[in-house]
Each structure stands twice: as C-alpha cells, then as structure tokens.
Amino acid sequence: MEKIKQLQQDFADFLAHTNLNGQPKELYEPISYTLLQSGKRLRPMLCLLANEMFDGDEQQALWPALALETFHNFTLIHDDIMDKAPLRRGKETVYQKWNADIAILSGDAMLAMAFQYALKPKKGAELAQQLGRVAIEICEGQQMDLNFETLGNVTIAEYLEMIRLKTAVLLATALQMGATVAGASEADIQHLYDFGIAMGMSFQLQDDILDLYSDVAVFGKRHGGDIADNKKTYLYMKALELASDKDRKRLEHLFTLRMDHDEEEKIEEVQAIYDHLHVKEAVEQVMLDYDRKAIEALAAVDLPEEKKKHLRTYAELLSGRKK
C-alpha cells in the first residue's frame, strides 16, 4: 500500500510540473482543465507498477504514464461530444463548458501530445508504436459502440469484442508500456498484456453488474442507469440469450422505451426478469473466468512472487475485493 500511494504521489507531482500552458488559451485551457481534475489515474498507475515490477527507472516510466493519462483524457473529451454529455466526474465536460469545436481541437492536440510524451524516454519509438496501435483499436471500439446503439441484433461475441477494444486494450497497453520501458522480456510483456486484457474485461462486466446491483451511495451513479438509457450491457445480452420467447420480446420492448416512460417501473420490471433468469450469476461466472485468466497470466510472468505483490494489491483494490 505504501508503494502504491508513493507512485500515485509521484505521478501527481510529475503532472503538476508538466507545462500545460500555451497559446491560444482557448486550446490549452480545456487541456489543463481536463488533465488536472482528480481521477483514479488508473492507466498511469498500471504503467508505473509494471515498470516497478521489473526494477525499471521510475523517471523514465513517468513519460509513458503521462502519455497514457493524456491519451485517455483525449478519448473522454471526444466521446463526450458524441454522447452530448454535460457532466463528467461531476464537472462540466469540455463540450459543455466551451463548445464542440474546441472539444475536437483540444482533444486532437492531446492525442498529439500523448505521442510526444511517449517518445521522450528510451525505447520511445516502441512506446509510440504501442500507443498508436491502441489508439486505433479504441477508435474501432468506440465506433462499434456507436453502431450498437442503432443495430438491432448484436451478438455476445461482438459485445465482448467491443468492450475489449473500448476498455481492456488500454489497461493492457498501460502494463505493456511500463514493462517495455523497464526493459522486460517479450514474453513477460505479453503475459502482462494478457493480464491487463483479462482484468479489463472483468472490470467492465463488474461495472455492468454494479450499475444495477450496487448500493447507490457506494457506487455514486444512479441505480439502473444503464436500463433507463437502454444501454445494451452484458447483463442485457445474457438475458436475451437465456430468456424464453415471451421474456425476450418483453425485454426488447422495454429497451425501446424512452425517458418519458416511468423509469423506476421499467428498471424494476427488467430487474425482475434478470433475477428470474439468474442473469447476475451468469455474468459473475464469466467475470470469474476472466479473473482466473488474469491470475494465470500474472503467474506466468518470470519474476519472484514478491515482485508482483504491488500490482496484485492494486488490482484487488480496484475490483473492490480489498479495502
């Protein structure tokens, strides 16, 4: 825990010393506004923890960590335009506070800045290649997500591929970049990448479950928000798979209703169908499969157990399995 807190502080200090000012201010203010908001700093932390596992130089690893955080925030700024989202982390989005043009441009500049940061340390070309590949994958994932909003029949395989591209690959790449800058072997870099994919998939499925089945006060979002928004999560996909013809038709109908409908009533009815079909348990089963894959991948990294403990602790903290 001490190590984790120290790395979080080191990243915060590094970010605070990064010059995010420039002209014209209309371009740079949204960048510092976004990057300096408090956040989990999940991707930088994975990068720094992977680097630390292999005894890498932390000063070098802070650059890809900054690249990852800058890149991640670029994706949020552009996603918020597409979602017309007014709020993010309880604050106005760039799209809302300024406008769509400024959100496009400051996002573009952040994507370029992310490459500049990735190129700074030794092995910069390799890190930038990893960033380039994941950037393209995330665009693919976001486009799939946009498609799913209008497409009728999405398969479970397509849904899993979408969340792999939209969420898991960036966590995996964060670990990959940390291990790369530390000079880990190809094989170990791949094991950590696999660990990141499995962990990312598990996190996303857990998010889907928590949206409906968590104590609101803990999770901080409205209960059943995904159902109210007709979001086709894994719970919904799994329910369609397990449902009788009658339940499937009813679910499909409920997921066409717009906000003017009684939201609470709709959420309750959907949840009743989910519970009847034991959807939560089915999704938890898939989550456990990913957790097992993650454990196997981390076990395969050719390092003594002692070296892996900080990353393992951090992953457990994130999943809520460790307080």
Point out which residues bind its own copies (CB under 8 A).
22-24, 26-27, 78, 81-82, 100-102, 104-109, 111-113, 115-116, 119, 124-125, 128-129, 131-133, 135-136, 139-140, 142-144, 146-147
Nearer to its own copies, 150 or 256 (CB): 150
Q: 115 and 54 in contact (C-beta within 8 Å)?
A: no
Q: What is the DSSP letter of 166?
A: I
Q: 176 and 292 in contact (C-beta within 8 Å)?
A: no
Q: What is the DSSP letter of 270?
A: H
Nearer to its own copies, 133 or 222 (CB): 133
CA–CA separation, 126 and 136 (whole Å): 16
Nearer to its own copies, 68 or 279 (CB): 68
Name the token pair of 278. Answer: 């034991």
> Nearest distance from residue 82's CB to its own copies, in Å?
5
Helix (H, G, I), strand (E, B) or coil at 88: strand
Give the DSSP letter string of 230-242: T---HHHHHHHHH
Name every residue whose Cβ is closer than 8 Å to that of residue 274 and which is 6 or more positions away in sequence: 212, 235, 239, 280
> Nearest distance from residue 309's CB to its own copies, in Å?
34
Give the bridge partners for 92, in sequence order.
87
Cα 301-284-143 angle, rounded to 5 deg: 80
> Nearest distance from residue 136's CB to its own copies, in Å?
5
> Nearest distance from residue 139's CB to its own copies, in Å?
4
Nearer to its own copies, 143 or 214 (CB): 143
Nearer to its own copies, 78 or 280 (CB): 78
Nearer to its own copies, 78 or 88 (CB): 78
Name every residue whose Cβ is closer than 8 Å to that of residue 153 and which is 6 or more positions away in sequence: none
> Nearest distance from residue 128's CB to its own copies, in Å?
5
Cis status, amide bond into 64, omega within 30 of 0: no
Q: 310 and 49 in contact (C-beta within 8 Å)?
A: yes
Cis status, amide bond into 24, omega within 30 of 0: yes
C-alpha distances (whole Å) from 48 to each of 18, 53, 173, 180, 272 are 17, 9, 12, 11, 43
> Nearest distance from residue 296's CB to its own copies, in Å?
29
> Nearest distance from residue 131's CB to its own copies, in Å?
8
CA–CA separation, 232 and 203 (whole Å): 17
Nearer to its own copies, 22 or 320 (CB): 22
Nearer to its own copies, 146 or 216 (CB): 146
Q: 310 and 52 in contact (C-beta within 8 Å)?
A: yes
Nearer to its own copies, 49 or 113 (CB): 113
> Nearest distance from residue 164's CB to its own copies, in Å?
13
Helix (H, G, I), strand (E, B) or coil at 91: strand
> Nearest distance from residue 61's CB to its own copies, in Å?
17
